[in-house]
Structure 1
């Protein structure tokens, strides 16, 4: 297979179910860089079948803190940033090569064909042309921060191109089922609440939380045409609204108990209450 001069960069953590399929669609790249957060499964052995450029980063609970480190390992000017649950179909490959070979841009926004609960999304902010991200770029025009969901920085005034054909976009196997979604929602909202508690992000009031949750639902289901996705559009709109409620509840617990781990403080409280009740029984028994 002919190789082309670009670097594919992938951050991984326990991606054995996805990684092989992803890598099979980018074997045409001269360089594949994997940055793994010490996976417990077969992610790294699978990666070694495709590349020797494997690096490790401290496990942080989410990939964003490792993205700049991963980018720094890329040796080519052009970089394609991927997640392990994404595929590069042939039309996207051909479009990327044309952009690169004809120097049509410095940074390219690409559509995402998102599958959610087994359904290819048409709206709900996850339709292919609603969900475009700058994933193909010349290395010097991009920097990453470590903040969850707020990571991408464009620098040095690149020439920007947005691809408008969904066929020339990623295939993204986003969430498998409700448990999968809630697991990630739980992790991300905990991270966000901790950032607010530490003063790294602005706090929100109960009123603002309700406003943001309602706006999230209406924007996704009505404005962004989530109704076109039927039940899946309704589910996603509700679950994304719940993101704001969950974050608010977690930060309030952290502030109430003055701890980033309020569960431990609540468990101590419950233990004290239980000890008091048991002591009452013992006092009665001694009489």
Structure 2
């Protein structure tokens, strides 16, 4: 058996409430790289109890640039990407070590056991085997992008395998409250809309509407959200609303030819306000 080291990569921003659980579940790793977006809480203080490999990256509103930088700092060829609100169960650790020791693959897709608002998601696109990601791989065979929601570029020569047992996947404490989900949705939809605006996306109204419908159909029908009752329905609608919000923001940007249309909208409102004021002066 070939004993190789594993570098764990963790991105943080004000994660003091999650980080201890995460780090306790990966302290077996011989290299823990933590990349922090200048947290305002005790995140870095907590991290120092587990690793001295702490780096900092400016906040941009999404994770990809920091993650890309952190992977470049890894000491080992094998890297495991872990979010601060995730944990690595013992069965998952043992599975990853066996993959490395027995040379079973180069890039590994890992299931996620997602918890939303206190309960585990089984379908709606967040079931363990519906929500899988390439989080364990040889870094020389995978190229990361700094674009939001971008997929890794995997070398053609890489052997890709998937973990099929949910018990050998991440436990992800995803959303604690609806407010948390909505806040993240607002932030991410702005970033996506700005990206579409920069790309000159010229979808018409019918195409835009189809995107919203397709998102709901995917979550509720294809991913069987209907089997999760109210939660499946509500999360399918929320994700359709996510897509709709992106498109609404994009349309507003187009109307004012600006990624930051607030000032232009305010100017229009002020013209209306000035007209009302003038009525009193006449």
Q: Deviations over 1:169-228 (max 9, x none)?
A: 0001112222111111111110111111112x6342221121111111122112211122
How many residue pairs get aligned? The number is: 280
Does residue 50 (structure 1) correspond to residue 50 (structure 2)? The answer is yes
Would the alpha carbon gap of residues 45 and 4 (structure 1) be closer, same or farther in structure 2, given more than 3 Å must change?
A: farther
SS across alignment from 1:29? coil
Correspondence for 2:193: 193
After TM superposition, give the deviation of residue 268 of structure 1 in Å.
2.2
With normalisation by structure 2, the TM-score equals: 0.95
C-alpha distance in structure 2 between counterparts of 1:237 and 1:263, whole Å? 29
With normalisation by structure 1, the TM-score equals: 0.93
Alignment of 1:132-281 (within 5 A): 132-199=132-199, 202-281=201-280
| Residue pair 1:10, 1:34 contacting (<8 A) in 2 also | yes
C-alpha distance in structure 2 between counterparts of 1:195 and 1:19, whole Å? 31
Correspondence for 1:70: 70
Correspondence for 1:29: 29
| Residue pair 2:9, 2:32 contacting (<8 A) in 1 also | yes
SS across alignment from 1:122? coil
| Residue pair 2:4, 2:100 contacting (<8 A) in 1 also | no
| Structure 1: gaps (5+ residues) | none
C-alpha distance in structure 2 between counterparts of 1:165 and 1:51, whole Å? 30
Q: Deviations over 1:51-95 (max 9, x none)?
A: 100001111011112221111000101110011111001110110
SS across alignment from 2:38? coil
C-alpha distance in structure 2 between counterparts of 1:168 and 1:44, whole Å? 29
C-alpha distance in structure 2 between counterparts of 1:45 and 1:238, whole Å? 39
After TM superposition, give the deviation of residue 156 of structure 1 in Å.
4.7
C-alpha distance in structure 1 between counterparts of 2:184 and 2:19, whole Å? 19
C-alpha distance in structure 2 between counterparts of 1:267 and 1:41, whole Å? 35
The alignment's C-alpha RMSD in Å is 1.5
SS across alignment from 2:5? strand
